[in-house]
Amino acid sequence: MKIHEYQAKAILRSFGVPTPEGEVAETPDQAKAIAEKLGGGVVVVKAQIHAGGRGKGGGVKLAKNPEEAFELAGKIIGMNLVTHQTGPEGKKVNKVLVEQGLDIANELYAGIVIDRGSGKPVVMASSEGGMEIEEVAANSPEKILKEYVDVEHGLQPFQARNLAFGLGLSPAVAKKAVPFFMKLYRAFEAKDASLMEINPLIVTGDGNVLALDAKMNFDDNAMFRHPDLPELRDITEENPYEVEASKYDLNFIKLDGNVGCMVNGAGLAMATMDIIKLAGEAPANFLDVGGAANAERVEHAFRLILSDPAVKAVLINIFGGIVRCDMVATGIVEAAKKVGVKVPIVIRLQGTNAKEGSEILKQSGLNFSVASELEEAAEKVAAVVK
């Protein structure tokens, strides 16, 4: 799960990580009032969307006074912000964060992720603040300092010192950076974060260390022990098809092609997308109906796939294991009758009771094309799309 910058900063502050002072606004009036509350001087107005690259896209502006904050907030709220992460369609801005302007002496980077290879969280720091870390990793990997954390003990002060002095900070600034890293890690651990990025982490002219930006993602599997986190979810940031799918516990991801897919199991669902591509067409979605592909789930899945106007045909690929193909077939027939399918459907059933399932489909009177092998199914669906 992803959250907004202002929400991440609130979490960080609760762990004692210094951030600039500021508040979130949904209207220009609110933005002006916040700027006044911050002393009436220079403030930064920052668009709150989940994607990165907001500055380059025109979503982050400096305002000299509260009046200018009012004006800029008026322009940014409601704008369609396009960044390299939003895709060309962009993202509508609903909120802005209004923060005090600071005297920045140095821009650095700090990040924490779980390193899958070593099975440890890794705290990273770099002198290249403000840059995309992937770019730094590709071009000058030596500029990324890494400390791997033993989770039984947590990040140790010496590791934080390695990072602070490794960045070339003066002893006075390092003295502030060390507790900064320690608190950052504590927040990461306590909230079951899967990713945390402070980019940039800044040193001010008077030697203070603050999180100027903040990004936090969370481990979806750990939500059961964080009842406060789901409240931070902003569904306007998500693909509407995916939001709809999540209501029915369907694993769904919208893609650009025009062959809708319904598959049981994530690996087989990916493989089905791949074979559609090999047959010369492109998948419209990833959809795992899960182990319990019953009539109700199939119906929801059908509605979801068919609500996408780009879908010209549907490929259903079910490998029956514990789930019996005849049950799935019955579910497909029932759902198709209810939903009123208008595009060609190719169904491939394999595994437990596949024959019985195919028979049910053939006798349904509905216009299904049945295949028994994977390749045959992909070729059939590609042929009807052309």
Enumerate binding residues for another protein (CB under 8 A): 114, 116-117, 119-121, 133-134, 137, 150-152, 189, 192, 194, 219-222, 224-225, 251, 253, 255, 263-278, 282-283, 286, 288, 291, 319-322, 350-352, 373-375, 378
CA–CA dist 4, 325 (Å, integer): 43
How near is the Cβ of 190 to another protein at its closest, in Å? 10
| DSSP letter, residue 156 | -
How near is the Cβ of 93 to another protein at its closest, in Å? 21
CA–CA dist 197, 200 (Å, integer): 8
| Selected catalytic residue, list 109, 185, 281, 379 | 109
Which residues lie below 8 Å from residue 217, measured CB to CB, with a gap of 6+? 1, 2, 3, 193, 194, 195, 196
How near is the Cβ of 282 to another protein at its closest, in Å? 7
| Selected catalytic residue, list 99, 128, 197, 299 | 197
Is the Cβ of residue 263 or residue 341 nearer to another protein in the bound state? Answer: 263
- Phi, psi for residue 203 in degrees, rounded to 5: -110, 125
Bridge partners (DSSP) of residue 251 are 288
**Is residue 274 within 8 Å of 300, Cβ to Cβ?**
no
148 is catalytic: no
Is the Cβ of residue 96 or residue 245 nearer to another protein in the bound state? Answer: 245
197 is catalytic: yes
**Is residue 343 within 8 Å of 368, Cβ to Cβ?**
no
**Is residue 146 within 8 Å of 123, Cβ to Cβ?**
yes
CA–CA dist 296, 89 (Å, integer): 33
Is the Cβ of residue 71 or residue 132 nearer to another protein in the bound state? Answer: 132
**Is residue 315 within 8 Å of 378, Cβ to Cβ?**
yes
* DSSP secondary structure letters along 304-337: HHHTSTT--EEEEEEEESSS-HHHHHHHHHHHHH
How near is the Cβ of 285 to another protein at its closest, in Å? 11
* DSSP secondary structure letters along 139-179: H-GGGEEEEE--TTT---HHHHHHHHHHTT--HHHHHHHHH
Is the Cβ of residue 164 or residue 261 nearer to another protein in the bound state? Answer: 261
CA–CA dist 316, 302 (Å, integer): 10
How near is the Cβ of 276 to another protein at its closest, in Å? 8
**Is residue 281 within 8 Å of 261, Cβ to Cβ?**
no
CA–CA dist 251, 291 (Å, integer): 12
Secondary structure percentages of the chain, helix, strand, coil, to 5: 40, 25, 35
CA–CA dist 344, 365 (Å, integer): 14
Is the Cβ of residue 61 or residue 91 nearer to another protein in the bound state? Answer: 91
Angle at 176 between CA 170 and CA 182, to 5 degrees: 125
How near is the Cβ of 316 to another protein at its closest, in Å? 13
Is the Cβ of residue 66 or residue 129 nearer to another protein in the bound state? Answer: 129
CA 153 to chain centre: 29
How near is the Cβ of 147 to another protein at its closest, in Å? 16
Active site positions, annotated: 109, 197
